[in-house]
């Protein structure tokens, strides 16, 4: 199938750096569809429920790559708030920095940010893996339910605050731990997981990692009445 070229004009939209027309080239091959965007704005590559490859040759605004199930997306720039929110499966790789709420409510797949991320990254994460090559802001992993985060750099205050489950690995310094976040010992399975994930995305390990999990002090299921316990669990 011949490639299909789509053009759109971003002039007059919200951001001053999006004043030039953008183009997207979509082609089909054995690996599925491939789309290349030369410029992008808010809410780009959202709600895609198919296996395909998308390359964004620039930076994204807020809410990029959210609600996806299957695509492999590379952003050759930075992104704003809430990239890959509610992502179900696939891979999203950000070559530079990402804003706050990176990977909010992530459910599956790999979200990789080669630079730094803002505050509350992985808030309410329910699965999948978030990998950060640089530093992470305050309240990283807030209300983490399941899934794993690998932070190669330093992390701001409130790490893992009110997390229910899941695992956070940190390679740098930690300002402070959040409520009910405790340190745990690394296992051989942890070492294998970290080495494999970083190798896949060509990220150099920063040195020894530390592992953080839920201390389960806030787990109050045993105090529920039997009927409530059955409903919750």
| Predicted local confidence at residue 44, as pLDDT | 85
What's the pLDDT tens digit per position in 199-229?
999 999 999 999 999 998 877 655 555 555 4
Q: What is the DSSP letter of 117?
A: B
Contact 89, 71 (CB under 8 A): no
| Predicted local confidence at residue 190, as pLDDT | 98
CA 73-6-27 angle, 5° bins:
55
**41 token code pair:** 């704005």
Contacts for 196 with CB less than 8 Å, ≥ 6 apart = none
What's the pLDDT tens digit per position in 143-178?
999 999 999 999 999 999 999 999 999 999 999 999
Q: What mean pLDDT comes out for the span 101-119?
A: 97
Taking residue 20's Cβ as centre, other Cβ atoms within 10 Å add up to 12
Q: What is the DSSP letter of 233?
A: -
16, pLDDT greater than 90 = no
With tokens 């390359």, the residue in question is: 55
Answer with the residue of higher pLDDT: 18 or 200.
200
If DSSP codes are grouped into helix, strand and coil, which group holds residue 149?
strand
Residue of 85, 34, 76, 33 whose CA lies nearest to 57: 76
- The pTM of this model reads 0.83
Q: What is the DSSP letter of 138?
A: T
Q: Is 115 exposed, middle or buried (0-12, 13-18, 19+ CB in 10 A)?
A: middle
82, pLDDT greater than 90 = yes
| Predicted local confidence at residue 13, as pLDDT | 46
108, pLDDT greater than 90 = yes
Domain locations along the chain: 1-72, 97-232
In order, the DSSP letters of 155-223 are B-SSBTTT--S-EEEESS-BS-B-TTEEEE---HHHHHHHHHHHHHTTPPP-S--EEEEE--SS--GGG
């Amino acid at each position: 199938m011949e490639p299909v070229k789509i053009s759109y004009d971003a002039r007059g939209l919200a951001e001053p750096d999006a004043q030039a027309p953008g183009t997207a080239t979509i082609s089909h091959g054995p690996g599925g569809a491939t789309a290349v965007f030369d410029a992008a704005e808010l809410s780009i590559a959202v709600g895609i429920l198919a296996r395909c490859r998308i390359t964004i040759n620039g930076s994204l605004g807020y809410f990029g790559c959210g609600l996806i199930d299957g695509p492999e997306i590379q952003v050759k720039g930075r992104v704003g708030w809430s990239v890959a929110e509610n992502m179900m499966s696939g891979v999203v790789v950000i070559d530079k920095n990402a804003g706050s709420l990176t990977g909010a409510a992530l459910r599956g797949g790999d979200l990789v940010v080669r630079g730094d991320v803002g505050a509350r990254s992985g808030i309410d994460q329910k699965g999948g893996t978030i990998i950060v090559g640089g530093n992470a802001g305050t309240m990283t992993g807030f209300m983490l339910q399941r899934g794993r985060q690998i932070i190669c750099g330093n992390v701001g205050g409130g790490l893992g605050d009110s997390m229910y489950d899941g695992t956070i690995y940190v390679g740098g310094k930690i300002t402070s731990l959040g409520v009910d976040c405790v340190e745990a010992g690394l296992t051989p399975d942890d070492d294998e997981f970290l080495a494999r994930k970083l190798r896949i995305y060509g990220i150099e390990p920063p040195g020894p990692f530390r592992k953080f999990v839920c201390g389960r002090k806030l787990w109050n299921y045993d105090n529920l009445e039997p009927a409530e316990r059955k409903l919750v669990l």
